[in-house]
C-alpha cells in the first residue's frame, strides 16, 4: 500500500532541508589562519610549537612590571570594544548560532567588566614571629579549551584574566568556531604588541583536534588547564592529572511564586532566555510556576515575544531538536541536534510548519516535569513551563532539573523565605533573584563578568586570581614596625 504524505508534512521537510542548507557551516570558506587577507598572529599547525611560543610569551610577560601588564590589558579592552561588531558577526556566520546584537553586547561586557591586574592582591601577616607575605604568582603557560557557544568572548575573557595573572596561554578552541576564536587570539596579540608586549603571548591551533587537546593536557610546560565546555570535555581535563579548572554544563531552573511581580518576571525571563538565543550556560532553561499565577505568567510572556505551542507541536519539535545516538556501550540516548542549537525561534518553529514573524523570540510550552525540554540543556529559545502547587514542590523539582550541576538558578519572588530556601537547596554557583539571568554575570547586575563559570572545581566566577598560585615568603622575627 502506498504511504500518503500530507501537504503540511511536505512543507516541514522542505523547510528542514532549506534550513540545513542555509545553516550548514561552509567548511571551505572558514580560514582559521587569516582574516581579510591578513595573517592572524599566534596560530600554529602544531601544538608543541604553539606551547613553545606561549612559553616565550610567558617569559616576556614575567619580565614586565604589573603596570606594563595592565597597559596590555587596557589595549585588549580598547580593541575588543572597537572590533566587537566584527567578532559578533563572524561568530554568528561561522557557527550559525546566536544573535549578532547580543554577541556584540557580550564582547562589550567582557571589555568593560573582566577584572585586570587589580584582582591580584598580596596579603601580609605580622605577629610576634615577624612578617609573612603571601603573593599570587602566575602558573606559567595555561592550556585553555573554549566552547563554540561564546567563542571569542571566552578567548578574550580568559586572556585578560590569565595575562593579568602573568601567564602565557595556549588555546585549543572548539573546531566549529575556530575562525572566530582565532580572530580573538590575533586581537589579543595585536593589542599586546601595540602596548609594548611580546610579539606572541597567546597561541592557538589552525586545526584543533582531540589529539591536539591531548598533547596540551600532557605537555610538561602546561601547568594549569582551564576548560569551558560540556560535561565530556570537563571530565577529560579533570582526569588529566594536572591542576584543572572546569567550567561545565548547566540547566538553570527558574521558579516563579505567587508573590512575584508577574509582568516583570515574564519580561525578565524571556529577556534572559532569549539572550544570544539561549546559548549562555546561565540562561533560563525551564520554569516552575505556581499554579495560581501560571496563566497570567504565560499570557504576559506572550506579550513579550513568546509563542505558545500545544503539546502536539511540542512533541513534533522534540523529534527535531533532540536526536537519538548510540554510545560506545550500545546504549541509546538523546542528544541535542547541533543544527538547532542557538537558532532563532521562528527558524525552529518553521521546522514544525509554524510560520511566525521575527518578533517572536521564544517558544514556550506547558510540559510535565519529565519532558525532554525540562531535562535536557537545549541551548535554544525553547522554554518549558511546569505548573507546581507550592514552594516545596517548586524547590524539589527545580533542584532535580538542575541535575546537580550546581551551576545557575533563578527565582522571581518577594517572599524572602522562599528565595532563601531555594538558594540554599539548589547550591548553585550563581543564583539570580528578580532579574534576567545575565544579571548574574554583571550585565545589569553588580559584580565582575566571566564566561568561565567554574562550578565543578569551585573557583566560581573566575577572574585573574583564579589563574594564580599562592606563594609565601617568611621573614622570621623581623620587619615589623610596631
Ligand atoms: P563542547 O563540550 O561541545 O566542546 C567544548 C570544547 O571541548 C571544544 O573545543 C571541543 O572540541 C572540545 N572537546 C570536546 N570533548 C573533548 C575531549 N574529550 N578532550 C578534549 N577536548 C574536547 O562545548 P560547546 O557545545 O561549544 O559548549 C556548550 C557546553 O559548554 C554547554 O554544556 C554549556 O553549558 C557549557 N558551557 C559552560 C560554561 C561555563 O562557564 N560553565 C560556559 C560556556 C559553555
CB atoms within 10 A of CB 320: 16
Give kind and range of the element (H or E) at residue 386: strand 382-388
Measuring from atom 44 of ligand 1, which residue has the nearest CA? 229
Indicate whether 82 pLDDT > 70.
Answer: yes
End-to-end Cα spacing for the chain? 99
Ligand 1 in contact with 277 (CB < 6 A)? no
- Return the closest-CA partner of residue 115 out of 68, 163, 47, 170: 163
> Given the CA of residue 151, which atom of ligand 1 is nearest to it?
26
Residue 356 Cα to ligand 1 midpoint, Å, equals 32
Beta pairing, strands 362-366 & 382-388: parallel
User: What's the confidence (pLDDT) of residue 219?
Assistant: 98
CATH class given for the domain over 7-23+32-248+459-473 = alpha beta
CA 220 to chain centre: 28
Q: What is the DSSP string of 76-87?
A: HHHHHHHHHHHH
Q: Is the CB of 384 inside a 6 Å radius of any atom of ligand 1?
A: no
User: Measured from the CB, is residue 405 less than 6 Å from ligand 1?
Assistant: no
Q: Over 80: is that where the pLDDT of 25 sits?
A: no
pLDDT above 90: residue 7: no
Nearest 5°: phi and psi at 312? -65, -45
Angle subtended at Cα 150 by Cα 402 and Cα 363, rounded to the nearest 5 degrees: 55
123-156 per-position pLDDT tens digit: 999 999 999 999 999 999 999 999 999 999 999 9
Which of 179, 180, 204, 233 should be mutated for ligand 1, with most atoms under 8 A from CB?
Answer: 233
Atom of ligand 1 nearest to the CA of 173: 9
CA distances from 120 to 94, 134, 159, 222 (A): 36, 11, 15, 21
Residue owning the nearest CA to atom 36 of ligand 1: 229
Say if residues 238 and 230 touch (Cβ distance below 8 Å): no
- In sequence order, the β-bridge partners of residue 227 are 145, 246
Give yes or no for residue 145 CB within 6 A of ligand 1.
yes
Give residue limits of the domains in the chain: 7-23+32-248+459-473, 253-451
- Pick the atom of ligand 1 nearest to 341's CA: 25
Mean pLDDT of the chain: 94
Quick check: 199 pLDDT over 90? yes
Is the CB of 409 inside a 6 Å radius of any atom of ligand 1? no
pLDDT in tens, 315-329: 999 999 999 999 888
Residues sharing a CB contact under 8 Å with residue 73, sequence separation 6 or more, in sequence order: 116, 117, 160, 163, 164
Q: Residue 341 has what pLDDT?
A: 98
Q: Is residue 346 lining ligand 1, measured as CB closer than 6 Å?
A: no
Is residue 130 in contact with ligand 1, taking CB distance under 6 Å? no
Q: Is the dihedral of CA 210, 211, 216, 217 positive or negative?
A: positive
User: Torsion angle, CA of 108/41/174/466, rounded to 10 degrees?
Assistant: -60
Give the pTM.
0.93
Residue 256 neighbours by CB distance under 10 Å: 27
pLDDT of residue 3: 46
The residues near 271 (Cβ < 8 Å, ≥ 6 apart) are 304, 436
Cα 405 to chain centroid distance, Å, stands at 14
How far apart (Å, rounded) are the C-alpha atoms in residues 132 and 179?
47
Is the C-beta atom of 229 inside 6 A of ligand 1? Answer: yes
pLDDT in tens, 413-471: 999 999 999 999 999 999 999 999 999 999 999 999 999 999 999 999 999 999 999 99
**CATH H-level superfamily of 253-451:** Aldehyde Dehydrogenase; Chain A, domain 2 (3.40.309.10)
The finding on whether 271 has its CB within 6 A of some atom of ligand 1 is no
Ligand 1 centre from 144 Cα, in Å?
11
User: Using CA positions, which residue lies closest to atom 24 of ligand 1?
Assistant: 147
C-alpha distance from residue 401 to each of 138, 288, 374, 444 (Å): 38, 10, 7, 26
**pLDDT (0 to 100) of residue 6:** 58
Residue nearest to atom 29 of ligand 1 (CA): 230
What single-letter DSSP state applies at residue 215? Answer: H
Q: What is the DSSP string of 441-453?
A: GTSSSSS---S-E
CB 306 within 8 A of CB 364: yes
Task: Tell which atom from ligand 1 comes closest to the C-alpha of 250.
Answer: 34
Is ligand 1 within 6 A of the CB of residue 245? no
Amino acid at each position: 500500500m502506498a504511504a500518503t504524505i500530507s501537504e503540511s508534512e511536505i512543507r516541514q521537510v522542505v523547510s528542514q532541508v532549506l534550513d540545513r542548507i542555509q545553516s550548514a557551516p561552509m567548511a571551505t570558506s572558514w580560514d582559521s589562519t587569516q582574516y581579510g587577507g591578513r595573517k592572524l598572529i599566534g596560530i600554529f599547525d602544531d601544538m608543541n610549537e604553539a606551547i613553545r611560543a606561549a612559553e616565550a610569551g610567558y617569559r616576556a610577560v614575567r619580565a614586565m612590571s604589573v603596570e606594563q601588564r595592565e597597559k596590555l590589558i587596557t589595549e585588549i579592552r580598547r580593541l575588543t570594544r572597537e572590533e566587537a561588531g566584527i567578532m559578533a558577526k563572524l561568530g554568528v556566520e561561522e557557527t550559525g548560532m546566536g544573535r549578532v546584537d547580543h554577541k556584540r553586547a557580550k564582547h562589550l561586557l567582557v571589555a568593560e567588566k573582566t577584572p585586570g591586574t587589580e584582582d591580584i592582591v598580596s596579603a601580609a601577616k605580622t605577629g610576634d614571629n615577624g612578617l609573612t607575605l603571601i603573593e599570587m604568582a602566575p602558573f606559567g603557560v595555561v592550556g585553555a579549551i573554549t566552547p563554540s557557544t561564546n567563542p571569542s568572548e571566552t578567548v578574550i575573557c580568559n586572556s585578560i584574566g590569565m595575562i593579568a595573572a602573568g601567564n602565557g596561554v595556549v588555546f585549543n578552541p572548539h573546531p566549529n568556531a575556530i575562525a572566530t576564536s582565532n580572530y580573538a587570539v590575533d586581537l589579543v596579540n595585536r593589542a599586546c604588541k601595540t602596548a609594548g608586549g611580546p610579539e606572541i603571548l597567546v597561541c592557538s591551533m589552525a586545526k584543533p583536534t582531540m589529539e591536539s587537546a591531548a598533547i596540551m593536557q600532557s605537555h610538561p610546560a602546561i601547568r594549569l588547564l582551564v576548560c569551558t565546555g560540556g560535561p565530556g570535555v570537563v571530565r577529560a581535563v579533570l582526569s588529566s592529572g594536572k591542576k584543572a579548572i572546569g567550567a561545565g554544563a548547566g540547566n538553570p531552573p527558574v521558579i516563579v511564586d505567587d508573590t512575584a511581580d508577574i509582568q516583570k518576571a515574564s519580561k525578565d525571563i524571556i529577556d534572559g532566555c532569549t539572550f544570544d538565543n539561549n546559548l549562555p550556560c546561565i540562561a533560563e532553561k525551564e520554569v516552575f510556576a505556581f499554579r495560581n499565577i501560571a496563566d497570567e505568567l504565560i499570557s504576559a510572556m506572550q506579550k513579550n515575544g513568546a509563542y505558545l505551542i500545544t503539546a502536539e507541536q511540542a512533541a513534533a519539535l522534540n523529534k527535531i531538536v533532540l536526536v537519538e545516538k548510540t554510545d560506545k556501550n550500545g546504549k541509546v540516548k538523546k542528544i541535542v541536534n547541533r543544527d538547532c542549537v542557538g537558532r532563532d525561534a521562528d527558524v525552529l518553529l518553521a521546522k514544525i510548519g509554524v510560520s511566525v514573524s521575527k518578533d517572536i523570540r521564544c517558544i514556550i510550552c506547558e510540559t510535565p516535569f519529565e519532558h525532554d525540554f525540562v531535562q535536557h540543556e537545549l541551548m535554544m529559545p525553547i522554554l518549558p513551563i511546569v505548573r507546581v502547587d507550592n514552594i516545596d514542590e517548586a524547590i524539589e523539582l527545580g533542584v532535580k532539573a538542575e541535575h546537580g550541576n550546581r551551576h545557575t538558578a533563578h527565582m522571581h519572588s518577594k517572599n524572602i523565605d522562599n528565595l532563601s530556601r531555594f538558594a540554599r537547596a539548589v547550591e548553585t554557583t550563581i543564583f539570580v533573584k528578580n532579574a534576567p539571568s545575565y544579571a548574574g554575570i554583571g550585565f545589569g547586575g553588580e559584580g565582575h563578568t566571566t564566561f568561565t563559570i567554574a562550578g565543578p572545581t569551585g573557583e566560581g566566577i573566575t577572574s585573574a586570581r583564579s589563574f594564580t598560585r599562592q606563594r609565601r615568603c617568611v621573614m622570621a622575627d623581623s620587619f615589623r614596625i610596631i
